[in-house]
Chain A
């Protein structure tokens, strides 16, 4: 995998096609807009015409206010449109965004701010420094008041960056909001940036990042084409129409409107074709591979899948100060069971790494190495007992075949204990997640206790490489193509074949059309993924024989 690299002056000619790593399939074309870092102030400039600097200050603030007002109107427009849709949240959030933007616009056109910055300019400061100083002074005044107003100080920082960027003629920092669809380009995207991505983003291209970076995961989850590690992309001017191929990693620069329309049309046709593909997962030569869904609730279900491979039950427990009742759990599980023929329920996956208020667990120095997943049961056995009771009851009520699995199983004894408690309630099939190397190494022995295994590749990578799965600087260690990780997966799959029991993969790797064939080649029997990933994985598998998948696996292990 290429190292993340800084912009390189010898990078490819920005007028030709650029190439990076395609990390989320699909194609899109549109005007590129760079997400810029906050502007760095150049050294103060000697001023010969103070009146011109004062005028530049005023026009930067006017432009800033106009930009914010336009964005407020556009957000308010979205809010209006969302009316009548079921999604009241989106409506409320858009209205709130409009409100915030209006308030920011009022600050941008604040007479005190203008007067302050203008007077600094008339005293001989250049426009950018005059703006910077005026904002800084007001920021400090608010920060000194504490409480609510101190929090508003951060808004002033954002406004200051934008005003200074206007004065210097630099691109706007933060997520762009041009009011039309665009291709978002950035050096890299933080989780905070990606959380705010609006519906007008057509595709993502970053100069840094790798296949497991946040950008990649988010893009795949949303079905947005994405290319990472694309050298030279930050040098392409804003507004240039680019075509992004998230499969090949190619970014075509300077398309005509006709060419852009062709790309968009091609993508629509491709998506329609993929969506039309259906039926069970299989290789070109007919080897079956179950394609299952990772879901959090009944809302995530899609008709076109062979069941649910990972039903995360955490959502029921979030923000609770007391555990959800048996009845409440039965209702939530039954809602899912009633709509799908087979479902694997994962019991509560929380703990000191993902704290839930009702658990009341003490903080730990190394939460990832502490009480998490099934280990919570050591301290609070009632939580699991109630959950297993509720799953069994929901299965009885709906007649569904519910399987259960426990997260973070580490030893055979833990697996045996879990199996005993689930079977005592008449639960059909009981399994274990393989997320730590200890479990993978003992997969054969585990399979004497459990009916199936499901490999969580993100956590298994984290513990195999001793690399925090959130750590962006360690992304290469967390690459699911790492041979050590693949070898552990292969051990589990072989143990499954010997025992005649299913071994699946749920996690990022399973939904990646480039990795799915490799996992099949290693011998896993099912792939469970975000619903949006299913069509592309189905199609990729259908194009390869089992032998070809095995060749890929062998090559990757070497």
Chain B
């Protein structure tokens, strides 16, 4: 079992658009990944599950996956969570406009 622990960097936590980006990324991986916060474990590709963790900015979550491709999958999701997805979005929007 591959495992990573990461601190949620987004200012708004794992809500709203950061949650959407994370869940979309997880759904694209093809490797089932779970997110654990305390006692609770949810599939990373479940929007309702990820939202229900209530992870705010600075919360430590643990990602887990099994089988081939697990390490790479976790690396990519960890990289995503470690970024401030809110400010990334602002940058994207500024470029759009």
Please measure, in the bound complex, the distance between the C-alpha atom of A102 and the C-alpha atom of B24, giving whole angstroms: 11
Please measure, in the bound complex, the distance between the C-alpha atom of A148 and the C-alpha atom of B47, giving whole angstroms: 15
Q: For B45, what are the chain A residues with a Cβ–Cβ distance below 8 Å? A: 111
* 0 or 1 for each of A232-259: is its CB under 8 Å from B? (1 = yes): 0000000000000000000000000000
* Chain B stretch 47-95: residues in CB contact (< 8 A) with chain A: 47-49, 51-52, 54
Once the chains bind, are B46 and A102 in contact (CB under 8 Å)?
no
A496 to chain B, nearest CB (A): 54
* 0 or 1 for each of A101-130: is its CB under 8 Å from B? (1 = yes): 011001100111100000000000000000
Once the chains bind, are B52 and A141 in contact (CB under 8 Å)?
yes
Q: Indicate if A368 sits at the interface (CB-CB under 8 A).
A: no
B20 CB contact (under 8 Å) in A103, A112, A138: A103
Q: Name the residue of chain A whose CB is nearest to the CB of B32.
A: A111
Q: For A148, what are the chain B residues with a Cβ–Cβ distance below 8 Å? A: 12, 15-16
Q: For A47, what are the chain B residues with a Cβ–Cβ distance below 8 Å? A: none
* 0 or 1 for each of B28-53: is its CB under 8 Å from A? (1 = yes): 00000000000000110111110110
Q: Indicate if B9 sits at the interface (CB-CB under 8 A).
A: no
B31 to chain A, nearest CB (A): 14
Please measure, in the bound complex, the distance between the C-alpha atom of A106 and the C-alpha atom of B27, giving whole angstroms: 10
* A103-B20, A106-B23, A149-B15 known; A142-B51 Cβ under 8 A: yes
Q: Indicate if A99 sits at the interface (CB-CB under 8 A).
A: yes
Once the chains bind, are A152 and B51 in contact (CB under 8 Å)?
yes
Once the chains bind, are B47 and A103 in contact (CB under 8 Å)?
yes
* A106-B20, A148-B15 known; A111-B46 Cβ under 8 A: yes
Q: Indicate if B17 sits at the interface (CB-CB under 8 A).
A: yes
Q: For A149, what are the chain B residues with a Cβ–Cβ distance below 8 Å? A: 15, 51-52, 54
Q: Indicate if A145 sits at the interface (CB-CB under 8 A).
A: yes
Once the chains bind, are B54 and A110 in contact (CB under 8 Å)?
no
Q: Which of B24, B42, B45 has the most CB of A within 10 A?
A: B45
Q: For A113, what are the chain B residues with a Cβ–Cβ distance below 8 Å? A: 46, 48
Once the chains bind, are B17 and A99 in contact (CB under 8 Å)?
yes
Once the chains bind, are A138 and B17 in contact (CB under 8 Å)?
no
Once the chains bind, are B48 and A112 in contact (CB under 8 Å)?
yes
Once the chains bind, are B46 and A112 in contact (CB under 8 Å)?
yes
* 0 or 1 for each of A271-294: is its CB under 8 Å from B? (1 = yes): 000000000000000000000000
Please measure, in the bound complex, the distance between the C-alpha atom of A113 and the C-alpha atom of B48, giving whole angstroms: 8
Q: Which of A99, A106, A107 has the most CB of B within 10 A?
A: A106
A112 CB contact (under 8 Å) in B12, B16, B43, B54: B43
Once the chains bind, are B16 and A142 in contact (CB under 8 Å)?
no
B52 to chain A, nearest CB (A): 5
Q: How many residues of B are counted as interface, with CB atoms below 8 angstroms from the partner's CB atoms?
A: 17
A106 CB contact (under 8 Å) in B16, B42, B43, B47: B47
Q: How many residues of A are counted as interface, with CB atoms below 8 angstroms from the partner's CB atoms?
A: 16
B71 to chain A, nearest CB (A): 23
* A102-B20, A103-B20, A149-B54 known; A110-B49 Cβ under 8 A: yes
Please measure, in the bound complex, the distance between the C-alpha atom of A142 and the C-alpha atom of B24, giving whole angstroms: 20
A537 to chain B, nearest CB (A): 42
B36 to chain A, nearest CB (A): 15
B57 to chain A, nearest CB (A): 12
Please measure, in the bound complex, the distance between the C-alpha atom of A113 and the C-alpha atom of B17, giving whole angstroms: 20
Please measure, in the bound complex, the distance between the C-alpha atom of A113 and the C-alpha atom of B46, giving whole angstroms: 8
Please measure, in the bound complex, the distance between the C-alpha atom of A152 and the C-alpha atom of B54, giving whole angstroms: 12
A82 to chain B, nearest CB (A): 13
Q: Name the residue of chain A whose CB is nearest to the CB of B52.
A: A141
B93 to chain A, nearest CB (A): 9
Q: For A110, what are the chain B residues with a Cβ–Cβ distance below 8 Å? A: 46-49
Q: For B15, what are the chain A residues with a Cβ–Cβ distance below 8 Å? A: 148-149
* Chain A stretch 350-377: residues in CB contact (< 8 A) with chain B: none
Please measure, in the bound complex, the distance between the C-alpha atom of A107 and the C-alpha atom of B20, giving whole angstroms: 10
* Chain A stretch 478-535: residues in CB contact (< 8 A) with chain B: none
B54 to chain A, nearest CB (A): 5
Once the chains bind, are A138 and B52 in contact (CB under 8 Å)?
yes
Please measure, in the bound complex, the distance between the C-alpha atom of A46 and the C-alpha atom of B49, giving whole angstroms: 31
B14 to chain A, nearest CB (A): 10
B16 to chain A, nearest CB (A): 7
* Chain A stretch 70-114: residues in CB contact (< 8 A) with chain B: 99, 102-103, 106-107, 110-113
* A102-B20, A103-B20 known; A145-B46 Cβ under 8 A: no
Please measure, in the bound complex, the distance between the C-alpha atom of A138 and the C-alpha atom of B48, giving whole angstroms: 7
A503 to chain B, nearest CB (A): 51
Q: Name the residue of chain A whose CB is nearest to the CB of B19.
A: A103
Please measure, in the bound complex, the distance between the C-alpha atom of A142 and the C-alpha atom of B51, giving whole angstroms: 8
Q: For A141, what are the chain B residues with a Cβ–Cβ distance below 8 Å? A: 48, 52
Please measure, in the bound complex, the distance between the C-alpha atom of A155 and the C-alpha atom of B12, giving whole angstroms: 19
Q: For A145, what are the chain B residues with a Cβ–Cβ distance below 8 Å? A: 52, 54
Please measure, in the bound complex, the distance between the C-alpha atom of A106 and the C-alpha atom of B45, giving whole angstroms: 9
Q: Name the residue of chain B whose CB is nearest to the CB of A112.
A: B46
Q: Name the residue of chain B whose CB is nearest to the CB of A91.
A: B97
Please measure, in the bound complex, the distance between the C-alpha atom of A27 and the C-alpha atom of B17, giving whole angstroms: 43
Once the chains bind, are A111 and B43 in contact (CB under 8 Å)?
yes
Q: Which 6 A-B pairs have the closest CB atoms?
A: A112-B46, A106-B47, A145-B54, A110-B48, A112-B49, A141-B52
Listed A/B pairs (25) with beta-carbon separation below 8 Å: A99-B17, A102-B20, A103-B20, A107-B47, A107-B48, A110-B46, A110-B48, A111-B45, A111-B46, A112-B43, A112-B46, A112-B48, A113-B46, A138-B52, A141-B48, A141-B52, A142-B51, A145-B54, A148-B12, A148-B15, A148-B16, A149-B15, A149-B52, A149-B54, A152-B51
Given contacts A112-B48, A142-B48, A148-B16, 8 further A-B contacts (CB under 8 A): A103-B20, A106-B24, A111-B45, A112-B49, A113-B46, A142-B51, A149-B51, A149-B54
